């Protein structure tokens, strides 16, 4: 057998630092769970609008399953593009306000595929310091030079842009709503300097799609920046409640990605039930365009209660509310105590977040009532005081 002692040694080191990750089998995935016979509020889900189990979404998924089967059976470039894929891409383009859209197997694959297809070894990627790992992995695979600008620091970005070699293409990558901090990118300013300096701009709207903007079109849509943001990425697995990812942009961009984005070329098409579910979710959003605004109001009230208790919620202004503890072990102990009290919260540690900023990442969803959120704030406050964290 292969010697795996090196793995055990490194895993032991991670365990000692409070950094070893383990899988947990959960009985359900909704905003409210029955866990060990108790009602538990789940703040670890990204199903922001509660659409993953919405009847209209489930029926649309079932209809697609009956019509086209369980799988696409081949890559999109062979025979894996079905009528439902074409319909979804048309709907997503219209939804986001772009000429075209291309669906990938996941949000991760969409980012990796787009970034690695748009730049190469003679080009540059300018990435926000807190940009998602999938964006950075795409940059690494592209072999472009990677430059990181300080989080949301447009002046630093501009200084880097002005250092551009004459023959290089520049690609700026950022999130619109940051996944671990819940704050917003200064998109207007970033788009302005991108246009001034002739750089491409890719914006990851994973946590904005479905929540921000008119009818959930995203922060790009809210700010009407479609002409300035040349590449818009979104997921189908968060507010839209299913699975997959997509890139929206021009028809030329879509054709380029079809020919150059390796995660698209070498992957089987998204399963029809997932496609049907997203089409159903888009229908629900069209009929209920205020869902995202309702969620943001609830999250704002919840965040204000936590701040009033003395919690550090960083710069969050979204449905993602971090409770920053700092120390890994203290944060893990806090998460365990909260679970005992009926609160399930994601414990986020390095390398997902910078060292010294371990936190609970609380995702507010429409499945959490105002009463649930008030109760959660009270439990968080009382438990933190018991743990001497406040």
**Residues assigned a catalytic role:** 46, 132, 175, 179, 204, 207, 238
DSSP H or E stretch at residue 67? helix 55-68
Largest CA distance in the chain: 64
Tokens at 23, concatenated: 């899988």
**Residues 87, 49, 321, 24, CA torsion sign:** negative
Rounded distance between C-alpha atoms, residue 279 and residue 62, angstroms: 12
* Residue 210 contacts residue 198 (beta carbons within 8 Å): no
Using CB atoms within 10 Å of the CB of residue 210, give its burial: 0 to 12 exposed, 13 to 18 middle, 19+ buried: buried
Rounded distance between C-alpha atoms, residue 311 and residue 303, angstroms: 9
The 8-class DSSP code of residue 214 comes to G
Beta strand segments in 336-376, E:
343-344, 346-348, 358-363
Q: Where on the phi/psi map is residue 153: left (φ > 0), alpha (ψ -120 to 50), or beta?
A: beta
The 8-class DSSP code of residue 62 comes to H
* Residue 45 contacts residue 31 (beta carbons within 8 Å): yes
DSSP code string of 149-187: EPTT-HHHHHHHHTT--TT--EEEEEESB-TTT--B--H
């Amino acid at each position: 057998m292969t010697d795996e002692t090196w793995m055990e040694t490194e895993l032991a080191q991670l365990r000692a630092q409070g950094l070893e990750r383990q899988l947990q089998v959960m009985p359900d995935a909704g905003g409210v769970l029955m866990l060990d016979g108790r009602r538990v509020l789940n703040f670890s889900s990204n199903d922001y609008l509660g659409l993953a189990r919405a009847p209209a979404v489930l029926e649309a998924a079932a209809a697609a399953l009956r019509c086209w089967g369980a799988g696409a059976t081949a890559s999109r470039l062979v025979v894996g593009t079905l009528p439902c894929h074409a319909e979804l891409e048309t709907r997503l383009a219209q939804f986001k306000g772009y000429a075209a859209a291309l669906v990938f197997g996941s949000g991760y694959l969409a980012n990796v595929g787009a970034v690695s297809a748009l730049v190469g070894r003679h080009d540059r990627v300018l990435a926000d310091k807190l940009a998602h790992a999938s964006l950075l992995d795409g940059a690494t695979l592209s072999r472009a030079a990677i430059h990181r600008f300080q989080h949301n620091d447009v002046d630093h970005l501009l200084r880097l842009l002005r250092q551009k070699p004459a023959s290089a293409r520049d690609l700026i990558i950022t999130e619109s709503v940051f996944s671990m901090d819940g704050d917003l990118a200064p998109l207007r300013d970033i788009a302005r300097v991108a246009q001034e300096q002739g750089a491409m701009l890719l914006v990851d709207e994973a946590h904005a799609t479905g929540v921000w903007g008119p009818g959930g079109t995203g922060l790009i849509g809210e700010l009407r920046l479609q002409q300035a943001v040349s590449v818009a990425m979104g997921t189908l697995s968060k507010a839209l409640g299913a699975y997959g990812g997509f890139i929206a942009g021009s028809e030329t961009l879509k054709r380029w990605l079809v020919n150059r984005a390796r995660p698209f070329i070498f992957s089987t098409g998204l399963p029809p039930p997932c496609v049907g579910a997203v089409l159903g979710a888009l229908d629900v959003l069209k009929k209920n365009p205020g869902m995202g605004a309702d969620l943001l109001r609830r999250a704002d009230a919840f965040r204000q209660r936590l701040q009033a208790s003395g919690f550090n919620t960083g710069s969050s202004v979204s449905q993602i509310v971090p409770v920053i503890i700092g120390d890994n072990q203290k944060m893990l102990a806090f998460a365990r105590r909260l679970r005992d009290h009926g609160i399930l919260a994601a414990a986020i540690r390095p390398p997902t977040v910078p060292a010294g900023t371990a936190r609970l990442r609380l995702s507010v969803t429409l499945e959490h009532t105002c009463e649930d959120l008030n109760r959660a704030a009270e439990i968080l406050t009382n438990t933190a005081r018991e743990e001497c964290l406040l």
